[in-house]
Structure 1
Amino acid sequence: MKVVLLAGGMGTRISEETGYRPKPMIEIGGMPILWHIMKEYSYYGFNEFIICAGYKQHIIKEWFADYFLHTSDVTFDLTKGNDIIIHDRHTEPWKVTVVDTGLKTLTGGRIKRVQKYIGNEPFMMTYGDGVCDVNIANIVKFHQQHGKMATLTSVKKVQEKGILDIGLDSSVRAFREKNAYDDSPINAGYMVLEPEVLNYIEGDDIAFERDVLEKLADQGELMSYQHTGFWQCMDNQCEKKILEDLWSSGQAPWKVWE
């Protein structure tokens, strides 16, 4: 099953760093948060990624193009026309497609633009700025069992994210924007989607959360996998520091790989 990663927004809420690189490329422990998310999926055996890039998308492409240089010792032999020798080559079992989905395209539009790479099969999708210790294999199993078109992971956390009204059968009965007085489950991403969901997206100006998830909830086609463990987005420098401190302490909950 392929994994679609939304990594095209401008990320203005971390303006100190996103002025020169896209937010998913901001580093935690010396590696982009995008890499951390991909390592989570890879741990559960999902290794084919489609990255919806946009703002400064060339930086994401260049990073993956030079992945061996980032993770290996390198000899530059200038006496032989600048030959490059890579030592102790380390690679991931990944197939990564990076797509320029536009600078101002909304989230739904970005997903629609990569439809030809997804194909006519179920796929996973999450955002490129948050990490989680959820069991991704269990999300997929849950999705396959309920037979609806869409599954999202929900967590209880005080954040300004999309609020969910979840029924006793785990169906999402409503999806709306959060206000300051809420203490309800929120959309944490980590979704599993049937290909028919793409039919709800008409163009670049479709917001996946507002225009698609709300409609799926109204139609009884959106289910919630309720996660009670760790989840943390990275919307500002304070949240970045939380992730950095956890990583530096060796206690990062999302680091399920060795």
Structure 2
Amino acid sequence: MKLVILAGGFGTRISEESESKPKPMIEIGQKPILWHIMKYFSNFGVEEFIICAGYRAYQIKEYFFNYHLHNSDLVVSLKDGKIETMHTQAENWKVTVIDTGLNTMTGGRIKRIEPYLGSDERFLLTYGDGLGDVNIRDLIKQHMEDKVLATVTAVQPPTRFGNLEIAQANRVRQFVEKPDTSSFVSGGFFVLHRDVINLIEDDTTVWEQEPLVKLASQNELSAYKHHGFWQPMDTLREQRYLEALWNEGQAPWQVW
């Protein structure tokens, strides 16, 4: 399956970085988070990617246009300008970058890339700002077994704040630093039948609203429960957390 990546938002909550680059190009370990996402999916055999760009789309295009150069050693002849590349470390990926508009909503971005799906009946979808160790193979397997139009990965993210259990006389009986929540939220990592695109009206459609609500009401949305690592990168604090995991060699998504 091809992987479609939603990478067009403004990233306003991490403006310290996104003022100069699109959020998917913010780096973790000197590589954009977009690269980390693609590298993770490629471990499950995904080699074709469709990136739904928007805000500062040209930076994403330039990154992949010069990817071979970025990942090679160079010998430059200053006299005649000839360039020889050596020791290239490039993945066997086919990357399609589509400018889906500056103000297009998430659903509209999906609708815009439909022609690039080719004849594929199903495709994968994720966001360009989140990492996890979701078993993509099992996710696809459940989707096929459930025989639905859409499957979403359900996660239980840790809360940002510690829980206090308060007894009588204002005494704290128990403190849990980062307890898991009991409810599930959407972690992205979708498997979709291309018919879901028929539920998207136009550029103003938000994928997480009308289309998913309708799929659920039609009993065509299943949930793949993931109890492992999952972390969005919405803030600078979360970027630094992911960076620390990478630098310490403890990144759960690093399976290559």
Would you call these one fold, judging by a TM-score over 0.5? yes
Equivalent residue of 1:108, what SS?
helix
Alignment of 1:98-117 (within 5 A): 98-117=97-116
Q: 1:242 to 1:49 in 2, by over 3 A?
A: same
Superposed CA RMSD in Å reads 1.3
Matched, 1:69 2:69: yes
Q: Is the Cα–Cα contact under 8 Å of residues 5 and 52 in structure 1 kept in the other structure?
A: yes
Q: CA deviation at 1:183?
A: 4.5
Q: 1:153 to 1:16 in 2, by over 3 A?
A: same
Query: Counterpart amino acid of 2:79?
Result: T
Looking at structure 2, the residues matched to 208 and 27 of structure 1 have their Cα atoms a distance apart, in angstroms, of: 26
Equivalent residue of 2:213, what SS?
helix
Task: Give unpaired runs (5+ residues) of structure 1.
Answer: 161-181
Matched, 1:145 2:120: no
Q: CA deviation at 1:152?
A: 0.6
Q: CA deviation at 1:221?
A: 0.5
Q: CA deviation at 1:119?
A: 3.0
Looking at structure 1, the residues matched to 205 and 87 of structure 2 have their Cα atoms a distance apart, in angstroms, of: 45
- Residue 171 of structure 1 is matched in structure 2 by none
Equivalent residue of 2:79, what SS?
helix
1:89-132 Cα offsets, whole Å, 9 max, x none, are 12101000000000000000000000000134100000000000
Task: Give unpaired runs (5+ residues) of structure 2.
Answer: 161-180
Q: CA deviation at 1:78?
A: 1.8
Alignment of 1:16-35 (within 5 A): 16-35=16-35
Structure number with larger C-alpha Rg: 2
- Residue 49 of structure 2 is matched in structure 1 by 49
> Structure 1 length normalisation: TM-score?
0.89
Equivalent residue of 1:58, what SS?
helix
Q: CA deviation at 1:159?
A: 6.5
Looking at structure 2, the residues matched to 144 and 119 of structure 1 have their Cα atoms a distance apart, in angstroms, of: 20
Looking at structure 1, the residues matched to 182 and 157 of structure 2 have their Cα atoms a distance apart, in angstroms, of: 7
Equivalent residue of 1:60, what SS?
helix
Looking at structure 1, the residues matched to 43 and 143 of structure 2 have their Cα atoms a distance apart, in angstroms, of: 19
1:119-157 Cα offsets, whole Å, 9 max, x none, are 341000000000000111111111111100000101111
Is 210-219 or 105-114 further displaced after alignment? 210-219
Q: 1:159 to 1:60 in 2, by over 3 A?
A: farther
- Residue 170 of structure 2 is matched in structure 1 by none
1:140-179 Cα offsets, whole Å, 9 max, x none, are 111111100000101111579xxxxxxxxxxxxxxxxxxx
Matched, 1:194 2:177: no
Sequence identity, in percent? Answer: 53
- Residue 254 of structure 1 is matched in structure 2 by 253
Equivalent residue of 1:78, what SS?
coil
Q: Is the Cα–Cα contact under 8 Å of residues 157 and 183 in structure 1 kept in the other structure?
A: no
- Residue 79 of structure 2 is matched in structure 1 by 79
Looking at structure 2, the residues matched to 122 and 17 of structure 1 have their Cα atoms a distance apart, in angstroms, of: 34
